[in-house]
């Protein structure tokens, strides 16, 4: 059983590789971490959208339709529940839109104040539009 710590073995592995190999290994490790985080983000977004679809909106509107079909009037609580469900669905939709390359927001132009920056901004807008 080895008594090396992960930091020791990583340092030793880097010392035994050439600088280019170490950079490639770091890049691969970074790509793997980013890929893992993207997967986690996708799963969380999917779970939130499923919950909103399956529970939030359905339940709020089911309560209202049930009350109406029973011949009762909608209450203020019924209306509030429907509004809250719609707002939650809207927030989730905006989050989903923010993660979609097709609907990603344009960069803040104030981050590009000089002439080169303005040109970079226009190029980025065109790139995102796909032109």
Residue 59 neighbours by CB distance under 10 Å: 12
Per-residue pLDDT of 67-103, as tens digits, reads 999 999 999 999 999 999 999 888 888 888 877 777 6
The pTM (predicted TM-score) of the whole model is 0.48
Query: How far is Cα 94 from Cα 89, in angstroms, rounded to an integer?
Result: 9
Residue bearing the bigger pLDDT, 129 or 63: 63
């Amino acid at each position: 059983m080895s008594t090396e710590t992960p930091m020791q073995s990583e340092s030793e592995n880097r010392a035994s590789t050439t600088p280019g190999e170490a950079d490639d290994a770091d890049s691969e490790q970074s790509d793997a971490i980013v890929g893992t985080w993207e997967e986690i983000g996708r799963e969380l977004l999917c779970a939130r959208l499923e919950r909103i679809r399956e529970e939030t909106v359905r339940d709020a509107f089911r309560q209202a339709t049930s009350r109406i079909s029973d011949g009762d009037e909608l209450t203020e609580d019924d209306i509030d529940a429907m509004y809250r469900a719609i707002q939650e669905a809207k927030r989730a939709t905006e989050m989903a839109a923010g993660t979609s390359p097709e609907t990603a927001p344009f960069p803040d132009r104030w981050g590009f104040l000089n002439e080169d920056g303005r040109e970079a901004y226009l190029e980025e807008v065109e790139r995102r539009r796909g032109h």
